[in-house]
C-alpha cells in the first residue's frame, strides 16, 4: 500500500485513480485533481509519502561484435534511463547490456545486475562477466536461462536491444507475462523480427503492450507515458484486471 502524497490517503497502487512519475519515482493519487496538484508543485509534496523507483530492464546480446553505432545507441538508452532516475536492470553480462550500464552510470543512474552465478568469483571466472558498472549484483545461481525470469519480473518496463535466441527467450517471457515492452529499432538482431513474431500470435492477449522506437530518449519517454497512463493498473499477467477508481470526498475522509 502507498499514500497519496497530497492528502496522505492509503491506496492500493493498481487501484489508484491516477499515477505520476517524478525523478524516477512512482506516486499514486486518489484523484486526477491531486495528481495535477502534485505535478504543478512536486517539490511541495514529494517527501510527504514514500515512493519507489521504477525499474527498466534492458535485455540484449552478450556478444561483443556489434557496430559502434549500435553500441552508441544502447549507451544513449542507458544514459536516458539513468538521467531520468530509473534503476537499470540487466543480466550483468558483457555486450549490449554492459554498454547500457555504462550509459546509465554516465547519466548518474543506478544499475542492478542479475547474475547467473552463485558468487562474485563464479560471476567473473565461470561466466566471464563484468562487475565494474553495477551498483548491486544479485547472485541467483540460476544459470544463464534461469536468471531470465528474475530479470523480467524485476522490471516495470522491459526494453529489447539487438540479441539472438537468448534475448528472444527474454522477450517471450516478458510478452507472456504481460509486461510493457519497448523495442529499440535499429539495434539489430531480433529487434528486426519482433513485429512479425507478435503478428504471428494472432488474437492472444496477455496484457503486454509494445512500443517500437529508434531514438533511445524518445523510447523511454513513450514507455513512461504508457506506464503512467495505463499500464500501472495491470503491470503483469499475475495481477487481476482493475478499473480506474475515483474516490469521492466522503470516501476519502473515511479512508484516511
Give me the residue spans of the domains in the chain: 1-53, 55-233
Rounded Cα–Cα distance for residues 227 and 62 (Å): 28
Do residues 230 and 238 lie in contact, with contact meaning Cβ atoms separated by under 8 Å?
no
Q: Report the CATH number of the 55-233 domain.
A: 3.40.50.450
Per-residue pLDDT at 66: 93
Residue 219: its H or E element = helix 216-229
| R_g of the chain computed on alpha carbons | 19
Per-residue pLDDT at 173: 97
Rounded Cα–Cα distance for residues 64 and 48 (Å): 46
Judging by beta carbons within 10 Å of its beta carbon (0-12, 13-18, 19+), is residue 65 exposed, middle or buried?
exposed
Per-residue pLDDT at 254: 38
- Asked if the model's pLDDT at residue 253 lies above 70, the reply is no
- Asked if the model's pLDDT at residue 256 lies above 50, the reply is no
pLDDT, tens digit (0-9, with 9 covering 90-100), for 201-247 = 999 999 999 999 999 999 999 999 999 999 999 999 999 876 654 44
Judging by beta carbons within 10 Å of its beta carbon (0-12, 13-18, 19+), is residue 118 exposed, middle or buried?
middle
Mean pLDDT of the chain: 93
Across 97-104, average pLDDT = 98
- Asked if the model's pLDDT at residue 250 lies above 70, the reply is no
Per-residue pLDDT at 252: 41
Do residues 116 and 91 lie in contact, with contact meaning Cβ atoms separated by under 8 Å?
yes
Greater confidence (78 vs 241) lies with 78
Rounded Cα–Cα distance for residues 238 and 62 (Å): 29
Across 85-110, average pLDDT = 97
What share of the chain has pLDDT > 90, as a percent? 92
Using DSSP bridges, classify how beta strands 180-184 and 209-213 pair: parallel, antiparallel or unpaired.
Answer: parallel
* C-alpha atoms less than 13 angstroms from C-alpha of 82 in its C-beta half-sphere: 23
Across 191-207, average pLDDT = 96
Per-residue pLDDT at 242: 66
Do residues 24 and 9 lie in contact, with contact meaning Cβ atoms separated by under 8 Å?
no
pLDDT, tens digit (0-9, with 9 covering 90-100), for 21-65 = 999 999 999 999 999 999 999 999 999 999 999 999 999 999 989
CB atoms within 10 A of CB 144: 14
Across 87-114, average pLDDT = 97
The DSSP letter of residue 55 is E
Amino acid at each position: 500500500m502507498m499514500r497519496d502524497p497530497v492528502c496522505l490517503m492509503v491506496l492500493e497502487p493498481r487501484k489508484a485513480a491516477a499515477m505520476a512519475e517524478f525523478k524516477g519515482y512512482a506516486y499514486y493519487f486518489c484523484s486526477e485533481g491531486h495528481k495535477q496538484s502534485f505535478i504543478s508543485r512536486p517539490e511541495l509534496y514529494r517527501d510527504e509519502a514514500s515512493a519507489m523507483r521504477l525499474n527498466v530492464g534492458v535485455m540484449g546480446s552478450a556478444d561483443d561484435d556489434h557496430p559502434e553505432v549500435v553500441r552508441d545507441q544502447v549507451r544513449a538508452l542507458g544514459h536516458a534511463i539513468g538521467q531520468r532516475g530509473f534503476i537499470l536492470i540487466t543480466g550483468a553480462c558483457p555486450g549490449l547490456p554492459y554498454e547500457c550500464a555504462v550509459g546509465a552510470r554516465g547519466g548518474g543512474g543506478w544499475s542492478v545486475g542479475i547474475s547467473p552465478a552463485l558468487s562474485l568469483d563464479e560471476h567473473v571466472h565461470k561466466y566471464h562477466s563484468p562487475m565494474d558498472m553495477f551498483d548491486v549484483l544479485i547472485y541467483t545461481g540460476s544459470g544463464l536461462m534461469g536468471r531470465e525470469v528474475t530479470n523480467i519480473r524485476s522490471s516495470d518496463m522491459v526494453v529489447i536491444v539487438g540479441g539472438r535466441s537468448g534475448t528472444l527467450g527474454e522477450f517471450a517471457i516478458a510478452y507472456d507475462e504481460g509486461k510493457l515492452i519497448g523495442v529499440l529499432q535499429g539495434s539489430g538482431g531480433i529487434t528486426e523480427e519482433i513485429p512479425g513474431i507478435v503478428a504471428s500470435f494472432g488474437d492472444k492477449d496477455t496484457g503486454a503492450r509494445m512500443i517500437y522506437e529508434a531514438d533511445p530518449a524518445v523510447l523511454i519517454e513513450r514507455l513512461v507515458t504508457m506506464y503512467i497512463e495505463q499500464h500501472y493498473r495491470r503491470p503483469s499477467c499475475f495481477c487481476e484486471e482493475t478499473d480506474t477508481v475515483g474516490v469521492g470526498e466522503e470516501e476519502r475522509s473515511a479512508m484516511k
